[in-house]
Structure 1
């Protein structure tokens, strides 16, 4: 069996700086890709090359990058950012009527308020935080940093620094590399499968700010103070509005309403995080393929879903492969380049993995011990040099 040679790990700047790097290089992957021929050419040169077939493999990512870059340049601002910004703005506009409906004494209207609040919160804290962490909401570096703090800390009750560090520098840089970007943060092996898959996710709104505080250890006083202030502002503002606008009489019922609204989409959120990576090919830190092989073998798309696709964003649901190949594209742009990416990968006989939500749920439920309790085996891709 041929083994995969070790690939040089590219250290990239984080957060909004990543977005700036992306923009300076035409919006398709950064200076490192260009210097290395798109998929690790520098490593290939140091090893003396490997013939015509190797040259073809080394150029795959760069060829796909040029196709995507062309589409990005031909797209309007509305397609690149406007549509997603409008969805986030609509979520904000849903908040005033949601607070008013929550003040109704009629069960139907009150339930509508809970649903509206839950949907708006999910859009802001999942779609918003994800786009903000990648700097995909603005071309301005200063605004990108502002939106990261706003969405991740105020709306999402988490540390912007820790969120960007964990998502950009770990998950995206080391996708499906065991111990680095293998989604192991979602593994709780002592929980039985039913509790893990359907009950434990409901505690995410409580756990998230506590984990955020844990991540602040060792950072500057200014960063700690800002994060604590922003998280507190986000939580208290919702509580204050429930008391003073919705008319909740008891602090306990207001807190319970907050928990219900914030946990409404926690179950599918956890499911999506594990369905699209765990159970696919895994790699060791010292044996990983080139980027295009790593992403196509270790990432999976879910089909379009009329609810999750718009609440979570295309890049987290039906365009996850595209998102991992081109992480600084907005949700709408991921959807636009999807036909090009899928066609290209199919033509080059690379995997373009897709599966349904319920198929993955059934898979995880019946293989929970293997996938979530015991570490997945390291997979060496035969024939990938």
Structure 2
């Protein structure tokens, strides 16, 4: 089944232009980079509306570069060149996101994609904090992500060889200090504390949907034991969920993390725009083959997690047994 679907999808990819395959997403990332100076300049003014506009611009651009950019670069979906793929991954993951690139790629590509919804391996277990109650986890804990990310990165650097650790430390420091310097010298902040507070504010602007999306699309769906996981197409059809089109999140996180997450897990090398283009083909194929194609709204998933928080996030999930499909 997967081979049959892949032939159809590759036919669509081969018939698509470079603009459709990679250009649209590269343009979104380029526009985000070009908009950053405007955000810093808006913060120079005392006008409340201009200041809020600057915060919004910097927050949206930061999330676009760190989430969409890092995600596409990690999957080498921005370019066919291995050299440029590596450079873009270092820029988006280490300079922009403040996290070691190799570690991020291993956790996401090798583990999460390789063992989607396999308990203890690719089940999004890194997002589980069972000591927190549901409201703290869903609404307050996300605000700590901008602080925890570089701290976790420092801990991870202790486990890698010295050469890679020094490179990652240098690029992460460059990204953090550059933003801090721009707040002081372009936006005109008078004190280090105000610049740091604004850094935290812009980096926290969209952390709530970031955390929510990471758990909504996998947890609460069928989970598998490492030694009894089904074939790949069943694993993805059962264990992955699409959210509806959401304009802001489509731009900031990309279609592959929002409305085309099933397609992304089946074909992770495709760009966001190509995932959107092949979505009708994939959904029709699933219906014809009578495979599950999970879709749900953001608010419905939020209500589900608030009402079943202990089941999904605290207790060990039940193992799904699929008889006759392996």
Query: TM-score range with shorter-chain normalisation?
Result: over 0.9
Within the alignment, does 1:354 sit opposite 2:295 as a pair? yes
- 277, 281, 284: which one aligns with 1:340: 281
What is the aligned partner in structure 1 of residue 182 from structure 2? 241
Q: Match for 2:134 among 189, 193, 206? A: 193
Counterpart of 1:157 in structure 2 is: 98
Query: What is the correspondence of 1:55-134 to structure 2 with a 5 Å cutoff?
Result: 60-134=1-75
- Mean CA deviation greater in 370-379 or 315-324: 370-379
Q: CA RMSD in A?
A: 0.6
1:381 aligned residue: 322
The Cα offsets for residues 159-183 of structure 1, whole Å up to 9 and x where unpaired, read as: 0010000000000000000000000
- 1:140 paired to 2:84: no
- 1:292-338: CA deviation from partner (whole Å, max 9, x where unpaired): 00000000000000111111000000000000000000000000000
Q: What is the distance in 2 between the residues matched to 1:83 and 1:116?
A: 20
- Of the three residues 281, 287, 292, the one matched with 2:222 is 281
Say whether residues 1:315 and 2:290 are aligned partners. Answer: no
- CA distance, structure 2, for counterparts of residue 73 and residue 210 of structure 1: 43
The match for 1:29 is none
Show structure 2 runs of 5+ residues with no match.
none
Unaligned segments of structure 1, at least 5 residues: 1-59
TM-score (normalised: structure 1): 0.84
State how far apart, in whole Å, the 2-side matches of 1:107 and 1:218 are. 45
Q: Give the TM-score normalised by structure 2.
A: 0.99
SS in 2 for 1:307: helix
In 1: Cα distance, 2:185 partner to 2:256 partner: 37
Work out the CA distance in 1 between the residues paired with 2:221 and 2:173: 38
How many residues align structurally? 326
Runs of 4+, deviation exceeding 3 Å: none
Q: Secondary structure at the match of 1:94?
A: helix
Q: Which has the larger radius of gyration?
A: 1
Matches within 5 A, 1:219-298: 219-298=160-239
Could you list the per-position Cα deviations for residues 79-108 of structure 1 after superposition, in whole angstroms to 9, with x for gaps in the alignment? 000000000000011101100001111111
- Look up the match of 1:202: 143
- Report the alpha carbon displacement of residue 218 of structure 1 after superposing the two structures with TM: 2.8
CA offsets 1:179-227 (integer angstroms, 9 cap, x no match):
0000000000000100100010011010001111111223111100000
